[in-house]
Amino acid sequence: MTNLDIGIFGTLAALALIALRVPIGLALGAVSVLGIAAMFSMKVAWGMISATPFDYVGQWELSAAPMFLLMGFICSETQMTRGLFAALRVVLSRLPGGLAIASVAACAFFAAAAGSSTATASAMSRIAVPEMLRSGYEKGLATGTIAASGTLGSLIPPSVLMILYGVYAQVSVGQLFMAGFLPGILSALIYMAMISVRVKIKPELAGAAVLDITPEERRMARREIWPLPLLILSVLGGIFTGIFSPTEAGALGAFLAAIIAAVLGRLTFERASAAIVQTLIATGSIFVILIGSLFFTRFLALSGLPAAFSEFILSISDQSWWILLSVTVIYLVLGMLIDSIGLLLLTLPIILPLVDSAGMEPVWFGIIVIKLLEIGLVTPPVGLNVYMIKGALGDIVTLPQVFRGVSWFILMDALTLLLLMLFPMISLWLPSLIYR
């Protein structure tokens, strides 16, 4: 077998192992070590194992990921989203589908503090879905809204996926954060417009009851709305104005989240411990996948598969539309089977050489990839956010109900994706203002 044959066989083997539910980091690492040993020798493979992980994982930029995760878990454990949702519920209650629209807005705010789609979906599912169901909302709309809006945690900065893409692709994480801001807001606004139109056409989707907001609820909402906006403005404002780097912003965000939670009287020892444990588990999982993908990158580079793949795609056409279509198909198909972090790190070794060969803008392309990963979070049969909602709510809803409800949001995601592809300045305008 040639090295290219080994590369192709190794890629198929990795996909097969992942389909069999072998942990992604382990599958990529095992295939890579065996593949390099087959191409060269076990001594070469062992040299990669002994030297590569620390050199890569020790990069300063990666330390932002656990800090943003900690910030999000502190916000979730201390229920900072509850007051924000209550305030948005009061403000938006008169709109068609007001509770669902308030849920989208609350998810967008929480996404700007959590940096994680699953954390956003998990936190909001326990707050917003029961409220919507009590108000008579159709189960598919209620659960689909949170499942889809939770994906905004990947696109609205700070985002763990953006940090991983930036470090892996050697692209400025700060530029990626700025590039994701407007697309994230656009996604949320399109969700809101769709909900409003659907409920206007079919009012029974949002129940027949009219929300009666009492003066006390309005006063309470005003008192509890400030924590998350303050945290978001402090973190993103510092990044966008260049006062501190994304890594420093992560540390500041985690510290501010703890201070705000303490001021609110919610930072108990149990909640702080739970946030730290969840951060350690999530960070450990991410880094295991990252190390496995790093091995996989070396394996593929030595096999020559990425270069062969780029030549094959470009031999058909070197037009941007063809490359984007090819990438879209790859991510949509694999996104149905693999979680977002695993899929990102699995595909970048193959996709990035193609992007470089085509001369595409890496920051803009990164936003396209993140949006495609968002769609994968809600598409069957895996749809991690859908399973997160089902797990949080138990027998209140069924998986088919959630998947049916989220289908409308997938259509809106397709519209947003098309707009981002046709008008790159939606992503690049903010970075162009600062990084001139």
Q: DSSP letters along 321-382, please?
A: HHHHHHHHHHHHHHHTTS-HHHHHHHHHHHHHHHHHHHT--HHHHHHHHHHHHHHHTTSTTT
Residue 416 banded pLDDT, cuts 50, 70, 90: very high
d(Cα 430, Cα 334) in Å, to the nearest integer?
Answer: 31
* H or E segment and range at residue 409: helix 399-422
Which structure tokens are listed for 309? 């793949």
pLDDT of residue 221: 66
122-149 pLDDT, tens digit each: 777 778 888 888 888 898 899 999 889 8
Instruction: Give the mean model confidence (pLDDT) for residues 207-230.
Output: 68
Q: What is the DSSP letter of 50?
A: H
Residue type at 190 in one-letter notation = I
**pLDDT over threshold 80, residue 154:** yes
**pLDDT over threshold 90, residue 363:** yes
End-to-end distance of the chain based on CA atoms, in angstroms? Answer: 49
Instruction: Give the mean model confidence (pLDDT) for residues 337-342.
Output: 79
pLDDT of residue 426: 95
Average model confidence (pLDDT) across the chain = 84
pTM over 0.95: no
**CA 179, 151, 417, 170: dihedral to nearest 10 degrees?**
40
Contact 83, 225 (CB under 8 A): yes
Label residues 229-257 b or e (16+ Cβ within 10 Å = b): eebbebbbebbbeeeebbbbbbbbbbebb
What percentage of the chain carries pLDDT values higher than 70? 93
Q: What is the DSSP letter of 22?
A: -
pLDDT of residue 428: 93
Instruction: Give the mean model confidence (pLDDT) for residues 298-314.
Output: 86
Residue 206 banded pLDDT, cuts 50, 70, 90: confident
Long-range contacts of 284-289 (CB under 8 A, 24+ apart): 285/25, 286/65, 286/160, 286/164, 286/341, 287/57, 288/23, 288/25, 288/26, 289/24, 289/25, 289/28, 289/341, 289/342, 289/345
Contact 92, 232 (CB under 8 A): no
**pLDDT over threshold 70, residue 218:** no
Residues 6+ apart with CB under 8 A from 262: none
**pLDDT over threshold 70, residue 90:** yes
